[in-house]
Amino acid sequence: MRTVIFDLDGTLADTSADLIAAANACFAGQGLGMPLDPRADAATAFRGGRAMLRLGFARTRPAWSETDLEAQYRQFLDFYGQAIDRQTRLYPGAARAVQRLGAAGYRLGVCTNKPEALAESLLVRLGVRALFGSLVGADSLPTRKPDPAPYVAAVERAGGVVDRSFLVGDTITDRDTARAAGVSCALVTFGPEGRGVARLNPEALLDHFDGMFDLAERLLPGRAVGGGD
């Protein structure tokens, strides 16, 4: 079964503004203002909550500790869960591209370092959860990306096999995950780094979801009929 696994943040959807708003709410609650910028710090947002908190603490309270960070991370998840889709949008053509792949027999899944419950909630709110046969989040297994186990689980839970699959992502984490799993990786160029992700040497670049189907046919050649091949 030919299978395509997608990252979520920065790949299927631009979640950066809502992520940064949640992190800024943590800092504001400590009287530290709002040190993160929704545009300038979007790339950090796609690296996760802890990355944003580290950056904000570095700008406002250099003497912070990992204990401080973990306490605020729990608060960050609460803030984010309460306003998970206020500004988040699917990237243009994403839903249409996933639908076309599914109609052609591809098995589809999501592998993300967002906690599973939050990823589930967001995909439902965006109206695309039913398009994916699997969802593996940061806490679904004992390990997370770039360990290959979550990717393998996403493929298998979608009904596919790893050696007939590839990963679509946006960061070095996705590049390293694919390499560890022994599969190809396509990186999107419509994130904060643009075509700068080419430096990571993925097997393919995706400039727009309109090109997703042709890219899949190139990376996984073969005719997908009925249940796929």
Other CB atoms within a 10 A radius of the CB of residue 161 amount to: 13
Residues 97 and 87: their CA atoms lie apart, in Å, by: 22
Mutual angle of helices 116-125 and 66-82, in 10-degree steps: 30
* Residue whose pair of structure tokens reads 């996760």 in the numeric block: 48
Secondary structure string (H, E, C) spanning 80-131: HHHCCCCCCEECCCHHHHHHHHHHCCCEEEEECCCCHHHHHHHHHHCCCHHH
| 7: annotated active-site residue | yes
Marked catalytic residue, from 7, 18, 41, 174: 7
Other CB atoms within a 10 A radius of the CB of residue 50 amount to: 15
Known catalytic residues are 7
